Structure formats: C-alpha cells, structure tokens
Structure 1
Amino acid sequence: MTTDSTQAQPRSLKIGFNLLVWTATLSEQMNPMAERLKTIGYDGIECYLGETDTQVYQRYGDHLKQLGMSSSAVITLGPDENPVSDSPSVRAKALDRLKVAIDCAHAMNADVICGPFHSAFATFSRQAPTDEEYNRSAEVLHQAGDYAAQAGILLTPEALNRFECYLCNTMTQLADLVRRADHPNVRAMFDTHHANMEEKKYPDAIATIAPVLAHVHISENDRGTPGSGHIPWDDAFSALAKANYRGWLTIEAFTRNDPDFANAINVWREYNEPWNIAEQGLQFIRQMMTKHSLGA
C-alpha cells in the first residue's frame, strides 16, 4: 500500500450507487454497470469488499478512473472476526480483516469504507451492549484508523436496526463509539433505512451525528427506489443541509439478483428493478437537494 499521511476528507457532495443491487462479488462484469451509471449522471460507485485480492479492486478502480468516477466501499465482519469479542485473538482477526479491506479500497482509489464493522453482522450476545464491548470495538477502530490514515481513507461505521445488530442502533450510540475510538480517520455514517426503525426524529438524529458525519446511505424503507416509500425525506435532506453536510449520498438498495447475498440479509422478494432504482433514485436525490439547498 502506498502511504499518504494526509487524512481523507469528503471534499464535496457526491452521488453514488451501491453495486449490491446486482451482486456482492466484484468483477469485470460490473464494468457495463459503471458505464451506464456514469451516463445517467452518477459521480461514483460503492462496492462490497468481499474479495481479498487487491488486484481485483485495482482493475475496477482503473476502469472507474477512465470513466472519471470516484468510489467508496462497504464491509461487514463475521463472528470469527468480531471487534467486541472477549477473545483477543478474535479481535486481532477483526483488525487484520479491516486492514485487508483498507488495502483493497486503497487499490480501488476509494475514499470511504462504510458498514457495520464495529461488530459482527447479525451476531447477538442476547444482552444489552456493555461498556466493555464499546471499549473493545473502539480500540479496534482506533487501530484500524491508524492504518486507514496511511491510505487516506475514512472509516465510517454504521448503526443498524435491532434485527441485524445490538451494539449500535442509534446515532447516539454511534456518536459515543466514534468518540471513544478517538481517531480523525474514524467518523460515522447515517443510513435512512435503519434510522426509519430506530430513531424518533430524523432532524434530532442527524444533528447528533453531524459533528462526525462523513457518509450517508439513501435507502427507502423497503430498500426499493428512493422516494417511493414512506421515509421522511424532507426531514432528512433539510437536516443534512442544516448540518452543511459534504460527502457521499449513496443509494443502497437490494434485490434478489445475488441469491446468496440476498439470503444473508433476509431479502425475500423484489422491490424495484435495479435501473428503475438508479434512474428514478438519482432524479429524486437531485430534486431533494435543490428543494433543501443541500450543497448550495
């Protein structure tokens, strides 16, 4: 990994699209998707860091560079690499996996890695999170932040809903975890889908996380086309504008195109066709940005 001691910072608003609507596996088969997304008007691509071969990401990053597109990435961790585990060896595996993810993201020229990597996905202790668990997670995140800083990448852990995570469900919990991690390259993300289940009011949640907010997922309540459901979008965009948010606005939507991935996240039906999500979703985001003077 070529080192760069400069901390990565989102410089301007960028609209992205997550490839998980098609697949969790990155390959050259995704090149035509990137090309069409560029034509539609997207600034960049977000992909899942499921592979561990940096060359896969370098090839895709080179293709995006030729298109004039940027990128971000997302990662999850399993129970054998859980940052909150009471086992030092399991926590060490978590850090090792995050370092590999950082190497892959760097090879792709990504500036952000998001996801619920503060703990293992859908892994529960069957009790409320403890102070010790938050401190364990924070320690792993701080160490990963040191490694990410060399690559100029921001780590933005994500709060998930109660059915997928117990450590961080709300922006209050996530803000506290980022504070404990105490690293300039460890920030936070906001996901409109999860907030729909866990937050009382979007403006309050966004105001809580605003000081460390560096990534946003635009996701409808049913994971279909943004703007087609009941997410309080006016509250979300007005709060982001009030916070003077600068960073990615990335559509994250799901289908059953990749059955293994869909089964892992309990997606059992189709919501909207991918290109409907991409085309109508981009139009909706632009309309909301204009309406609320976000990025002005």
Structure 2
Amino acid sequence: MSTFSPPDSPIRSSAVPIGFNLLAWSAPISEKMHPIAERLKTIGYDGIECFIDNQNVAAYRQFGDHLQQLGLQSTTVMVVGPDENPASESANVREQAVAYLKGAIDRAHAMGATVICGPMHSAFATFSRREPQAEEYARSAEVLHAAGEYAQQANIILAPEALNRFECYLCNTMSQLAHLIRLVDHPNVRAMFDTHHANMEEKRFADAIRTIAPVLAHVHISENDRGTPGDGHIPWDDTFQTLAEVGYTGWMTIEAFTRNDVDFANSINVWREYNDPWDIAENGYKFIKMMQAKYGLTS
C-alpha cells in the first residue's frame, strides 16, 4: 500500500472552479502538454483534467509539478475495461478492478489531483445483453467501496459517471447512479453529472441534477456534439440554474473531443472534428463564466 501525504490546496479563484480536459489534444500526458497547460492558465482556467492510464507514476508526478508551478489544480478521468470490470461475475476480475482503481489513485495522487471521475463502475462499451441486475450493482458497489477506502487515504474523491446507452448499460441515468452510490456507502465515492450523456438519457436536466445533488462531486460541461459549449442544444439555462439552486460548488470541467489523438478518437467513435480545440477552450471558458455570472455561481 502506498503511503499518502496530503495534497497541496491552492486558493481557488472562484467559488465554482473551471477546468479543461486535455483529451481534446491527447490521452497520454507528457512534456508536450506543458505549453497547452500554460495557455489554458492564461485563458483563466483553474485546473486541468487528465486521462489516467498505465503510464508510469513518475509521468503524472512530473506533470503535476508543472501544473503546481503554474498555479493550476488538477482532476483526472478514467475508464475500466472487461479485464478489470467491477460488475463482473468473476471474483478474479473484480480483484483486478480493485487493483486497477488503486493504481489510478496512486497516479492521481502523484499528480496532486483531488478527483477521479469516469465510468469506473463497469467496463466501457461492454454489454450483457440484458437490463442491469441487482447483483451487478452489488458487485460494483463492493469494488468501489474498497477503492473508496484507498482513495480516502489520498484525500481523493471517486466520482463515477453515468454514460449513454451506447457506451454502458449499468448506469445511464442519475437515478441509477444515485442508487449505486447509496449501495457503495462511502464518503469518498460520490458522483458526477455529464451534460452530453444526460442529453440522451434524462427526461429533464433539472430533475436529474436534483436527483444526484446530495452526492454530486463533479460536472462535465459538454455540448451535445462534444464541441464548443454553448454552440449546440444542451439546455444550459436549466443546467446552470439548477446547479446554483442545489448549491453546487465543485468543478465545472469542459470535456470535448477531437481527432488530435487518433487512437483515443477511434476508441470512442469520434470520426470528425467538431470544433478546433482552442475554439472550445477559449469560447467555452467565456460561455461558462457568462453562465456562472448569470446564475450567481461565482464568488
């Protein structure tokens, strides 16, 4: 078991911090991402979100050191595959899931991150060809509780994410996700809300946000086409107004996709460019700041 030390806690520039996910450029992190982080800082972002994979822990520590020098905080996102599926019938696979989640926590902690979000409750794009079963939720909850115990030592929040029906079957809605989080029953395992997936799966954004509000720890600001927030048809007024009503103070992180990283784009079926990443970053930031001001989400 790793020995964790408390992460630094820089002062946030706003009551609701704004982040940007580097997946618009690359899944792996490296020194090539340094200039991108620097420009995002100049735009005004409070933090950077990075994808967690099997890169050496040292790579995350090095990138985290650079972010700290810039005065940027960090969050992370991850997925699990069939070989480490928390909902699997196989006890061996579930053991691998716990080990994989612990490895992600080690990497996130090395970077100084405070949140790991993503569909860690079950294997991405892996389907059972039946509706979710009670025992699948129970198995996933047991794995996530064990991971939560480990995350607690690192002062990291795990925020499982509901995905749309084409990428996941266990958790598509906030109602299903809230059920799972109740089963997990751990203070370091909470939930996230992603506007892109909610656009496909929820009847009304306001109701969905209120459903998950008691355990909501992270929000992805993502347009219906994964391009620049504000350019599409996501019900943004409902989103920001309801987040303000429930007293949300966590991250609002833009997650948008491009074909800059071809391997990653192919893995999530991104076959065209939606917007230039700097258009997404610059205009998306302005849009979030405008909506935060409109609904009183800034300090």
Assess, with a 3 A threshold, how the Cα gap between structure 1 residues 143 and 5 changes in structure 2: closer, same or farther. Answer: farther
Q: 1:136 aligns with which of 132, 139, 160?
A: 139
Mapped pair 1:159 → 2:162 = yes
State the AA in 2 paired with 1:3: F
1:96 aligns to what?
99
What is the CA–CA distance in structure 2 between the aligned matches of 1:32 and 1:137, rounded to whole Å? 38
What is the CA–CA distance in structure 2 between the aligned matches of 1:258 and 1:108, rounded to whole Å? 22
State the AA in 1 paired with 2:161: E
Per the TM alignment, residue 13 of structure 1 is displaced from its structure 2 partner at its CA by 1.6
State the AA in 1 paired with 2:158: L
State the AA in 2 paired with 1:109: G
The DSSP-based 3-state class of the residue aligned with 2:50 is strand
The DSSP-based 3-state class of the residue aligned with 2:131 is coil
State the AA in 2 paired with 1:175: A
State the AA in 2 paired with 1:130: Q
The DSSP-based 3-state class of the residue aligned with 1:71 is strand
Per the TM alignment, residue 38 of structure 1 is displaced from its structure 2 partner at its CA by 0.3
What is the CA–CA distance in structure 1 between the aligned matches of 2:151 and 2:242, rounded to whole Å? 29
Q: Deviations over 1:124-171 (max 9, x none)?
A: 000000000000000000000000000000000000000000000000
State the AA in 1 paired with 2:59: V
Per the TM alignment, residue 224 of structure 1 is displaced from its structure 2 partner at its CA by 0.1
2:47 aligns to what?
44
Q: Deviations over 1:11-50 (max 9, x none)?
A: 8421000000001111110000000000010001000001
Per the TM alignment, residue 2 of structure 1 is displaced from its structure 2 partner at its CA by 3.6
Q: 1:217 aligns with which of 217, 220, 228?
A: 220
**1:52–1:100 contact (8 Å) kept in structure 2:** no
Structure 1: which 5+ residue stretches go unaligned?
none
1:3 aligns to what?
4
Structure 2: which 5+ residue stretches go unaligned?
none
The DSSP-based 3-state class of the residue aligned with 2:20 is strand
What is the CA–CA distance in structure 2 between the aligned matches of 1:5 and 1:279, rounded to whole Å? 32
Q: How does 1:152-191 map to 2 (within 5 A)?
A: 152-191=155-194
Q: CA RMSD in A?
A: 1.5
The DSSP-based 3-state class of the residue aligned with 1:95 is helix
The DSSP-based 3-state class of the residue aligned with 2:217 is strand
TM-score by length of 1: 0.97
1:269 aligns to what?
272
The DSSP-based 3-state class of the residue aligned with 1:76 is coil
Per the TM alignment, residue 51 of structure 1 is displaced from its structure 2 partner at its CA by 3.0
2:206 aligns to what?
203
The DSSP-based 3-state class of the residue aligned with 1:13 is coil
Sequence identity, in percent? 68
State the AA in 1 paired with 2:85: N
1:115 aligns to what?
118
**1:148–1:155 contact (8 Å) kept in structure 2:** yes
What is the CA–CA distance in structure 2 between the aligned matches of 1:249 and 1:5, rounded to whole Å? 23
What is the CA–CA distance in structure 2 between the aligned matches of 1:5 and 1:70, rounded to whole Å? 14
Q: Deviations over 1:156-215 (max 9, x none)?
A: 000000000000000000001000000000000000000000000001000000000000
**1:52–1:101 contact (8 Å) kept in structure 2:** no
What is the CA–CA distance in structure 2 between the aligned matches of 1:81 and 1:269, rounded to whole Å? 30
Q: 2:149 aligns with which of 141, 146, 157?
A: 146
State the AA in 1 paired with 2:275: N
State the AA in 2 paired with 1:288: M
**2:28–2:55 contact (8 Å) kept in structure 1:** no
* Segments of 4+ moved more than 3 angstroms: none
